[in-house]
Amino acid sequence: MRRRLLSRLALVACAASLPVTLLATAPASADGPRTSHSPAYKSVGYFTQWGVYGRDFQVADLETSGAASRLTHINYAFGNVSSDGKCFTGNIPGEADAWADYVRPLDAENSVDGVADTDTQPLAGNFNQLRELKAENPGLKVMISLGGWSWSTHFSDAARTAASRKAFVASCLDLYIKGNLPVDGARGGQGAAAGLFDGVDLDWEWPGSAGDTDTVYRPEDKQNFTALVREFRRQLDAYATTQKKGKHYELSAFVPTAPAKIDAGFEVPRIMRDLDFVNLQGYDFHVSGEATTNQQSALYAKDDFSVDQTVDAWLHRGAPARKLVVGMPFYGQGWTGVTGGGDGLNQPAAAPAPATWQAGYEDYEALKKLADSGTYTVHRDRRNGHAWLFDGTTLWTYDDPQVLKTKTAYIRHHRLGGAMFWSLDGDTPDGELIRAVDTGLTQH
């Protein structure tokens, strides 16, 4: 690993000097600027399509929490790729959810503009709410994120030939950038979502190496991913010439931390010429399915995955620092049946910890309540920049505002591109984590 200009001790000392108190700030008024973050840094949050159901996390919550005014980009997760290599939507359980995307009507209480959807408007659901959010927050960009862990199944097929790449990209632009949605009752139609999406985020997990159990991968994915990025850039730029002067559609990608996966799937200097930025995997370094507790998102870790190792791996392979956006988790990984005593870290565990939505995975909002309950002790590795909760039996490793301040100091000192969050529905109702990152990125 290359030596860095700023030692980790100096960085932690710098982060410790940041203000400890974060003021709860109401959304900006119409009389003032809508965005408080520094324009020098990107602040990218993933909004999950399915979060509107069990978590009841609506687009309007981004406005009431003040999060929207602190974001530069929202990545809408996810768009799927069909077996014939095209972007598609519909109401297909486990494959597509047009109901959530643009069919579902919102009442006044859950609408960004406070006005209920009608039965006849062509765009409703999350897409219409994101359009309203952009109207309230000029400068906020919305990207369609394609793939994800479960929906990267057919990426390799779609990227396999020049013809398949051209058809794949054209289908994605038609559906999302041009907004030509399938008709579903009164919803959809030609141009129904035109102007909503400002670009495309490629979340292929992973070109050239294994991802989910049914995801196809091939050795030639590495070159094909480069060609796919080039095709997206070409078609986005061509379409931009038909729009208002100066329009630029952004192109980003979610990329891995493991050097083996980077080398198997990414021609770094070549793709970075066409990508506006990449969102670095800054979490899931260790997961609750492992038999031993560990950190999932440490800033530094000796002989292990970490944020610093990930940044260094991409820099070493030719990525510009200004295009590296550091991923931060708004959730924790947890284990139960932990034995061995001490603070619980690096100890044997029996199973993933019970949780609200998925064993071993818990939103920050819930973990904050555990931290405040007095039942758990908050432990910190200040040298390496991570935290965890332990009650003697159950351990959760997570990022809280103090950890995020250290990470934003790191971003500023290394002149990186900004911060990314998975996912926005894990934050507190008042946007505690977003505020912490915003405060950290605007320090001077």
Given this model, what pLDDT does residue 5 score?
33
- Average pLDDT estimate for 38-44: 84
For residue 6, what pLDDT band results from cuts at 50, 70 and 90? very low
The pTM of this model reads: 0.92
For residue 96, what pLDDT band results from cuts at 50, 70 and 90? very high
User: Which is it for strands 331-336 and 395-398: parallel, antiparallel or unpaired?
Assistant: antiparallel
Range in 1-10, 109-118, 189-198, 394-403 with the lowest mean pLDDT: 1-10
Q: What is the average pLDDT value for the chain, to the nearest integer? A: 92
Q: What gap in Å lies between CA 338 and CA 305, rounded to an integer?
A: 22
Given this model, what pLDDT does residue 27 score?
33
Q: Which residue has the higher pLDDT, 28 or 273?
A: 273
For residue 10, what pLDDT band results from cuts at 50, 70 and 90? very low
Q: What gap in Å lies between CA 238 and CA 219, rounded to an integer?
A: 30
CB atoms within 10 A of CB 361: 20
For residue 40, what pLDDT band results from cuts at 50, 70 and 90? confident
Given this model, what pLDDT does residue 260 score?
98
- Average pLDDT estimate for 330-348: 98
For residue 245, what pLDDT band results from cuts at 50, 70 and 90? confident
Cβ-based burial of 175 (10 A; exposed 0-12, middle 13-18, buried ≥19): buried
Given this model, what pLDDT does residue 239 score?
98
Given this model, what pLDDT does residue 31 score?
32
CATH code of domain 36-329+399-441: 3.20.20.80
pLDDT at 16 over 90: no
pLDDT at 58 over 50: yes
Instruction: Find how far residue 287's CA is from the centre of its chain.
Output: 18
Given this model, what pLDDT does residue 244 score?
85
- Average pLDDT estimate for 303-314: 98
Strand-pairing partners, residue 255, are 280
CB atoms within 10 A of CB 426: 25
pLDDT at 441 over 50: yes
- Average pLDDT estimate for 49-63: 98
- List, for residues 120-169, the tens digit of each pLDDT value: 999 999 999 999 999 999 999 999 999 999 999 999 999 999 999 999 99
SS3 string of 68-107? HHHCCEEEEEEEEECCCCCEECCEECCCEEHHHHHHCCCC
| Percent over 90 (pLDDT), the chain | 90
Given this model, what pLDDT does residue 444 score?
63
Given this model, what pLDDT does residue 199 score?
98
- List, for residues 114-124, the tens digit of each pLDDT value: 999 999 999 99
Given this model, what pLDDT does residue 378 score?
98
End-to-end alpha carbon distance in the chain: 28
Given this model, what pLDDT does residue 2 score?
32
pLDDT at 274 over 90: yes
Given this model, what pLDDT does residue 215 score?
98
Q: Which residues are catalytic?
A: 205
CA distance to 162, 272, 279, 370, 404, per residue, from 436 (Å) = 44, 29, 19, 19, 7
Given this model, what pLDDT does residue 202 score?
99
Q: Which residues contact 234 (CB under 8 A, 6 or more apart)?
A: none
| Percent over 70 (pLDDT), the chain | 91
- List, for residues 163-214, the tens digit of each pLDDT value: 999 999 999 999 999 999 999 999 999 999 999 999 999 999 999 999 999 9
For residue 35, what pLDDT band results from cuts at 50, 70 and 90? very low
pLDDT at 223 over 90: yes
For residue 39, what pLDDT band results from cuts at 50, 70 and 90? low
